[in-house]
Structure 1
Amino acid sequence: MAESTKKKQAKETKGSSLFDKFLNFIEKAGNKLPDPAMLFLMLLVFVWILSAVLSPIDFGETHPLTGNELAVKNLLTGESMADFLANMISTFVLFAPLGIVLVAMLGVGVAEHSGWIDAGLKKLLNFTPKAFLTPMLILIAIVSHTAADAGYVLVIPLGGVIFYAAGRHPLAGIAAAFAGVSGGFSANFIPSAIDPLIMSFTLEAAKILDPDIALNPLNNIYFTGASSILIVLVGWYITDKIVEPRLANVKVDGDEDEMPQMETVTDKESRAFWLGFGAMILGIIGLFIWAWPEGSALRDPNWDNPDVSSLFSFQAPLMQAIVPLIFIFLLIPGVVYGYVSGKYTSSKDMIDNMKKSMESMGYYIVMAFFCALFIDAFSESNIGLLVALKGANFLQSLALPGQVTIVGIIILSAVVNLLVGSASAKWALIAPIFVPMLMQLGISPDLTQAAYRVGDSVSNIITPLLPYFPLVVVFCQRYVKNTGIGTLISMMLPYSLIFMVVWTIFLLLYWWIGIPLSFESNYVYPAM
Structure 2
Amino acid sequence: MENTKKKKGAGQAFLDVIERIGNKLPDPIVLFMIIAGLILAASWITGMLGVSVKNPADGETIEAVNLLTGEGIARILTEAISNFGAFPPLAMVLVVMIGIGLAEKTGYFEALMKRSLEITPGFLILPMVIFVGIISNVAGDAGPVILPPIAAMIFIRLGLNPIGGIFMAYAATNGAFAANFILGMTDALAVAFTEPAAQLVNPDYSGNIAMNYYFIAVSAIFLMGIIYFVAKKISIPRLGKYEGPPVDEEPLGNKEKTALLWANLSALIFVAVIVIATLLPNGILRNAETGSILQESPLMDSAVFLITVLFFIPGLVFGILMKNIGGTKGFGKMLGESMGSMGQYIVLVFFAAQMLAYFDWSNLGPILAVSGSNLLESINLTGIPLFVGFILVVALINLLIGSASAKWAILAPVFIPMFMFLGYDPAFTQMLYRIGDSATNPIAPMMPFLPLIIMYAQRYQKDIKMGTVIANLLPYSIALLISWVAFIIIWYLIGLPVGPNGPIYLPE
Q: Please give the range of the TM-score, normalised by the shorter of the 2 chains.
A: over 0.9
Written as runs of structure 1 = structure 2, the 5 A alignment for 1:306-321 is: 310-313=292-295, 315-321=296-302
Percentage of pairs with the same residue: 36
Gaps in structure 1 of 5+ consecutive residues: 1-8, 304-308
Matched, 1:136 2:128: yes
CA distances 1:292-325 after superposition (whole Å, capped 9, x unpaired): 233334222344xxxxx61101x22221111111
Could you tell me how far 1:58 is from its partner in structure 2? 4.1
2:273 corresponds to which residue?
286
Could you tell me how far 1:66 is from its partner in structure 2? 3.6
Q: Distance in 2 between matches of 1:66 and 1:98?
A: 33
Which range moved further: 293-302 or 380-389? 293-302
Could you tell me how far 1:20 is from its partner in structure 2? 1.0
Which range moved further: 169-178 or 29-38? 169-178
2:161 corresponds to which residue?
169
Please tell me the residue identity of whatever aligns with 1:193. M
Which range moved further: 281-290 or 27-36? 281-290
Written as runs of structure 1 = structure 2, the 5 A alignment for 1:335-346 is: 335-346=316-327
What secondary structure sits across from 1:522 in the alignment?
coil
Q: In the alignment, which of 258, 261, 270 is matched to residue 274 of structure 1? A: 261
Q: In the alignment, which of 465, 468, 479 is matched to residue 484 of structure 1? A: 465
What secondary structure sits across from 1:215 in the alignment?
coil
Could you tell me how far 1:59 is from its partner in structure 2? 4.2
Matched, 1:381 2:372: no
Matched, 1:367 2:348: yes
Written as runs of structure 1 = structure 2, the 5 A alignment for 1:104-183 is: 104-183=96-175
TM-score by length of 2: 0.97
Q: Distance in 1 between matches of 2:208 and 2:456?
A: 39
What secondary structure sits across from 2:53 in the alignment?
coil
Which range moved further: 93-102 or 395-404? 395-404
Q: Distance in 2 between matches of 1:397 and 1:106?
A: 51
What secondary structure sits across from 2:448 in the alignment?
coil
- Contact residue 447 and residue 522 of structure 1 kept, 8 A: yes
Written as runs of structure 1 = structure 2, the 5 A alignment for 1:296-315 is: 296-303=283-290, 310-313=292-295, 315=296
Q: Distance in 2 between matches of 1:317 and 1:146?
A: 14
What secondary structure sits across from 1:61 in the alignment?
strand
What secondary structure sits across from 2:321 in the alignment?
helix
CA distances 1:164-186 after superposition (whole Å, capped 9, x unpaired): 11111112111211110011111
CA distances 1:191-241 after superposition (whole Å, capped 9, x unpaired): 111111111111111111111101121111111111111111011111111
Could you tell me how far 1:79 is from its partner in structure 2? 0.6
1:263 corresponds to which residue?
250
- Contact residue 276 and residue 283 of structure 2 kept, 8 A: no
2:483 corresponds to which residue?
502
Which range moved further: 123-132 or 27-36? 123-132
- Contact residue 161 and residue 260 of structure 1 kept, 8 A: no
2:441 corresponds to which residue?
460
Matched, 1:431 2:418: no
- Contact residue 52 and residue 367 of structure 2 kept, 8 A: no
1:474 corresponds to which residue?
455
What secondary structure sits across from 2:48 in the alignment?
coil
Please tell me the residue identity of whatever aligns with 1:301. A
Could you tell me how far 1:483 is from its partner in structure 2? 1.0
CA distances 1:100-145 after superposition (whole Å, capped 9, x unpaired): 1000111100111111111110011112233332211111111211
Q: Distance in 1 between matches of 2:219 and 2:429?
A: 16
2:184 corresponds to which residue?
192
Q: Distance in 2 between matches of 1:328 and 1:100?
A: 13
Q: Distance in 2 between matches of 1:244 and 1:100?
A: 29
What secondary structure sits across from 1:186 in the alignment?
coil
Could you tell me how far 1:275 is from its partner in structure 2? 0.7
What secondary structure sits across from 1:75 in the alignment?
coil
Which range moved further: 290-299 or 24-33? 290-299
2:424 corresponds to which residue?
443
Q: Distance in 1 between matches of 2:314 and 2:130?
A: 24
What secondary structure sits across from 2:109 in the alignment?
helix
What secondary structure sits across from 1:70 in the alignment?
strand
- Contact residue 93 and residue 145 of structure 2 kept, 8 A: yes
Written as runs of structure 1 = structure 2, the 5 A alignment for 1:344-423 is: 344-423=325-404
Please tell me the residue identity of whatever aligns with 1:477. Q
- Contact residue 464 and residue 485 of structure 1 kept, 8 A: no
Please tell me the residue identity of whatever aligns with 1:85. L
Q: Distance in 2 between matches of 1:129 and 1:478?
A: 28
Q: Distance in 1 between matches of 2:112 and 2:165?
A: 17
Q: Distance in 2 between matches of 1:11 and 1:245?
A: 18
Q: Distance in 1 between matches of 2:251 and 2:2?
A: 45
1:81 corresponds to which residue?
73
Q: Distance in 1 between matches of 2:248 and 2:368?
A: 49
Q: Distance in 2 between matches of 1:76 and 1:22?
A: 39
What secondary structure sits across from 1:312 in the alignment?
coil
What secondary structure sits across from 2:497 in the alignment?
coil
Q: Distance in 2 between matches of 1:24 and 1:442?
A: 45
Aligned-residue RMSD, C-alpha: 1.5
